[in-house]
Amino acid sequence: MNEEALLARASEERERIFQRYERGRENLVGQIDPWEDPEFEDYHKTDRYGFIHDERLLHKTAPQKVNVEVEREKKWVKMLGSWDTPATREKLHRRIYKGIPNSLRIKIWCKLLNVNSMKSTNVGKYQEMLRLAKQWSTDVRQIDSDVNRQFREHQFYRERYSEKQCSLFNVLCAYSMYNSEVGYCQGMSGLAGVLLMYMDEEDAFWALAILLSDKKYAMHGLYVEGFPKLTRFLEHHDKILTKFMPKLKQHFDKFGLDAILYSLKWFFVCFVERVPFSLCLRVWDIYLLDGERVITAMAYTILKLHKKAIMKLNDMDLIVNYIQVKLHKDFGYEDDIVIHHLERSMDELKRAKIDYPGPPPPSELPQRQLGAFVEPDKKAKIGQRAENFSETEKQARATVILRREKAALELQELRVSQSDTVSDENAVPLHTSQASMNILNDIPFPSYTKTPPNYLIKDNTKIRRRKQ
């Protein structure tokens, strides 16, 4: 097939995908594959946040908690009416750490992110980006695939081509044109999906834009080629463990457990699908207020609260499953207790002057003008992978290798220092080789196939980036 034919095929595919979302569920009766559209069975239970469960929910909200939330809601409504006053600024920290009433999150999150200001200074920009995406976006196929997987246990996203699925598709496609350096990366569907649970389509788009570009959050560096911010935050996380929980760090190193294996969704999507959703929302509330320090402190808090249980696990897979799966289903602590410990962790790290990895370097911030159209090259339009790694990708790959080698060396030195002599017979074998190979296998190699390139990082799921 020649180049012109490939370009025409890619254009037809993009148009066909957009048309299905534009028509919506009601106009696609009989055209949705059964595997795309799970049934809503009678025994399912839906929690207060809209997530569907296959069994009876374990906990009901106690009447006293309902009364507390009603009273808290009244205070928040009053505070919203005087948002920019000194009295509100004085109360804001304490109130947010106590928890934002779920019914008011849409308003409070928009206030914390300053969404209305961003929207009013960019009138018509979202619609423009969406129009450009319909004509030019090279990420449509991957976005369509991820929309069909994201939050399928939530009532908003369960039905194929539902209103919120269509909104999620539109937001991600529009953003892929707005930020041409990032385009689309898989973790972004989790961020946008949560925002759309509380916001309308355009507000969610601008909230996503602020999370990536505002220096307070600077998530651009997590999704841009090479994932520079992820590397920097993983190194900072290791520094915290080495200083405050050296035995746990040694335990991880003993079984070849690099932080990248268990913490990816902590950093990429702010703990979505790694802690219960009610707790995740509380962390998001605080993150939108206080920024990046919250992520590093929450990562530390999770391991601190569960250190004893983790230390009893003598297998890398068991540890990863405990941190990623078990804690998502049952964290073992009430949300209020966790937030109390989070606040203490932030203070502890601040006193040690290790609460903040530092401001983002230029490589983690947008270099191109946001919202300026950049026409994709022919390879991107066709969906053809780059034949070779970029220098940024090579450096990211080398960094992962060095992290594993450094951990293995530090563990070996520790063992030598703990024994006068270490013989081959008595030495405990290092369990790092296979873990190192697992990570290396998940770093992409050049491919000549005409499918979107995968830039992979181990986390039971793949993080996909499209080459621009």
* Domain presence at residue 343: yes
β-bridge mates for residue 416, sequence order: none
SS3 content of the chain, % helix, strand, coil (to 5): 60, 0, 40
Quote the CA–CA distance of 220 and 226 in Å, as a whole number: 11
Question: Is the domain of 326 the same as that of 349?
Answer: yes
What is the C-alpha R_g of the chain? Answer: 23
Q: Is residue 163 part of a domain?
A: yes
pLDDT-derived band at 59 (thresholds 50, 70, 90) equals low
Query: What rounded mean pLDDT belongs to the chain?
Result: 83
> Would you state the pLDDT for residue 380?
72
Q: Quote the pLDDT of residue 34.
A: 76
Which pLDDT belongs to residue 387?
Answer: 52
Confidence of residue 434 (pLDDT cuts 50, 70, 90): very low
pLDDT class of 8 with cuts at 50, 70, 90: confident
How far apart CA 255 and CA 257 sit, in angstroms, is 5
Average pLDDT over residues 274-299: 97
336 with 253, same domain: the answer is yes
Q: For residue 467, give the nearest of 457, 459, 455 by alpha carbon.
A: 455
pLDDT of residue 440: 40
Above 80 in pLDDT, residue 130? yes
- For residues 395 and 441, give the distance between their C-alpha atoms in angstroms, rounded to a whole number: 16
Residues 208 and 320 both lie in one domain = no
Tokens encoding 225: 């080629």
**Contact 24/163 with Cβ under 8 angstroms?**
yes
Comparing CA positions, the residue from 252, 352, 248 lying closest to residue 307 is 248
Q: How confident is the model at residue 433 (pLDDT cuts 50, 70, 90)?
A: very low
- Angstrom distances, CA of residue 81 to CA of 71, 95, 106, 109, 290: 16, 15, 15, 15, 22
* Integer angstrom CA distances of residue 331 from 301, 325, 348: 12, 10, 22
Stretch 86-103: mean pLDDT: 93
**Domain of 251?**
228-364
Cα–Cα distance, 442 to 82 (Å, whole number): 51
Domain boundary, last residue among 330, 364, 398: 364
Judge if 205 and 249 occupy the same domain.
no
Domain count, the chain: 2
CATH code for the domain of 184: 1.10.8.270
Say if residue 295 is exposed, middle or buried (CB neighbours under 10 Å; 0-12, 13-18, 19+). Answer: buried
Per-residue pLDDT at 7? 78
| Region of poorest pLDDT, from 149-158, 293-302, 422-431 | 422-431
Residue 345 and residue 252 share a domain: yes
pLDDT of residue 16 exceeding 80 = yes
Measured between alpha carbons, how far apart are the two ends of the chain, in Å? 22
Are both 234 and 360 inside the same structural domain?
Answer: yes
CA separation, residue 38 to residues 2, 20, 28, 33, 35 (Å):
39, 18, 16, 10, 7
Of residues 70 and 283, the one with the higher pLDDT is 283
424: which 2 tokens? 């081959």
Name the least confident of 234-248, 305-319, 396-410. Answer: 396-410
In this structure, the answer to whether residues 233 and 356 fall within a common structural domain is: yes
Q: Rounded to whole angstroms, how far apart are CA atoms 138 and 100? A: 38
Single out the residue of 261, 206, 245, 197 nearest to residue 437, CA to CA: 261
Residue 460 has pLDDT above 60, yes or no: no
Backbone phi and psi for residue 127, each to the nearest 5 degrees, phi listed first: -65, -35
Residues 191 and 269 sit within 8 Å (Cβ to Cβ) = yes
pLDDT tens profile 141-186? 999 999 999 998 899 998 899 999 999 999 999 999 999 999 999 8
Amino acid 448: pLDDT:
26
Mention every residue, 6+ apart, whose C-beta is less than 8 A from residue 309.
322
pLDDT above 60: residue 436 = no
Confidence bin at 44 (pLDDT 50/70/90): low
One domain for residues 200 and 235: no
Q: What is the pLDDT of residue 423?
A: 43
Same domain, 319 and 239: yes
What is the pLDDT, as a whole number, of residue 65? 66
Task: Establish if 23 belongs to a structural domain.
Answer: yes
Amino acid 454: pLDDT: 38
What pLDDT sits at residue 71?
Answer: 87
Residue 315 falls inside a structural domain: yes
Mean of pLDDT values over 387-411: 60
177 lies in the same domain as 241: no
pLDDT at 359 over 50: yes
Residue 436 included in any domain = no
Highest average pLDDT, of 22-36, 45-59, 354-368, 408-422, comes from 354-368
Q: Are 134 and 18 in contact (CB under 8 A)?
A: yes
**Lowest-pLDDT range, 264-268, 291-295, 410-414?**
410-414
Give the pLDDT band (50/70/90) at residue 333.
Answer: very high
> What pTM does this model have?
0.81
Which residue, of 308, 335, 364, is where some domain finishes? 364
Q: Distance of CA 345 to CAs 225, 246, 294, Å? A: 31, 16, 9
CATH number at residue 297: 1.10.472.80
Whether 386 maps to a domain, the answer reads: no
Token reading at 399? 């960094």
Residue 429: Cβ within 10 Å count? 7
In a domain, 221, yes or no: no
The answer to the question of residue 58 being in a domain is: no
Mean pLDDT in residue range 360-382: 85
CB neighbour burial string for 164-200, b if at least 16 within 10 angstroms, e if fewer: bbbbbbbbbbbbbbbbbbbbbbbbbbbbbbbbbbbbe
Check whether residue 190 and residue 286 sit in a common domain. Answer: no
Q: Which residue has the tokens 């090279």?
A: 138
Given a cut of 90, is residue 404 above it in pLDDT?
no
Whether residue 226 has pLDDT greater than 80? yes
Average pLDDT (310-336) is 96
Q: What pLDDT is recorded for position 459? A: 38
**Which of 364, 381, 400 delimits the end of a domain?**
364
Query: What mean pLDDT is predicted for residues 212-237?
Result: 94
* Same domain for 252 and 197: no
For residue 110, pLDDT over 70 is answered with yes
